[in-house]
Amino acid sequence: MKNFQGKRGIILGVANERSIAWAIAQELHTRGAELAFTYVNEAIEKRVRPLAAELGVTKIYPCDVQKDADLDALKVAVSNDWDGIDFVVHAIAYAEKEDMACKIRDIRRSGFQLALDVSAYSLIGVCGRFADLLAVRKGSVLTLTYLGSERVVPNYNVMGIAKAALEASVRYLAWDMGEQGVRVNAISSGPIKTLAASGIPHFKDMLNAFAEKAPLRRTVTQEDVGKAATFFLSDDAAGVTGEISYVDAGFNTMGF
């Protein structure tokens, strides 16, 4: 199925071959999309470039979302290469390990600010830069969240608060950008073994409990999320915006 033939967009957050962003990139590539990637530093660049080569991606830009100058430069670089884009995938989140592991009442101010800046404000910063380019093609923005945004997940702590802010941002951005025909949505996936997940204490226990209690009796995979992402980014979802949609084997429906 080549339902993304002629479409193009940028993916922020490819970290390695286990990242959800990479699974989304693979699905979009298979369906005909032209892609661009970003990287935050030299260490990530060394991982991203070989992955980009696998898909024939040649547009690879540096961008630290904590720096306004980097976001501005990214906008300029993409604008020089493309006169409009069909989608942006925002797959960026970060919190210090000590702020994930400590009690929520003990989180440092600096750690709280870091988690909110990278994991939530960055979506607003990215949308602000790319609104006009997305409007040209009535494009779509997709970000990634998790159930810890609305329910207590032990050891998720400050990231749960950051994801709650991210989800609120999705709704407000959907309203702001909707007048230009741009859609903004989020996928709330079940826990998946990724580089980011390695910072969550007792993550293996979380996976085991999830598989026992989810209606499908299994965890979800990067590929599950990648396939769902192509729907929200496609014309098939032209009437969908401001939504937080679960790809979690039904876990979110369980009450006990």
Catalytic residue list: 146, 156
The sheet with strand 34-39 has its strands ordered as 59-62, 34-39, 8-12, 87-90, 140-145, 183-189, 244-247
Q: 108 by DSSP, 3-state: which?
A: coil
Handedness of CA 185, 190, 193, 195 (dihedral sign): positive
**Of 87, 247, 82, residue with least CA distance to 183:** 87
CB 220 within 8 A of CB 248: yes
Q: What is the CA radius of gyration of the chain?
A: 17
Parallel, antiparallel, or unpaired: how do β-strands 87-90 and 140-145 relate? parallel
The Cα 140–Cα 126 span in angstroms is: 12
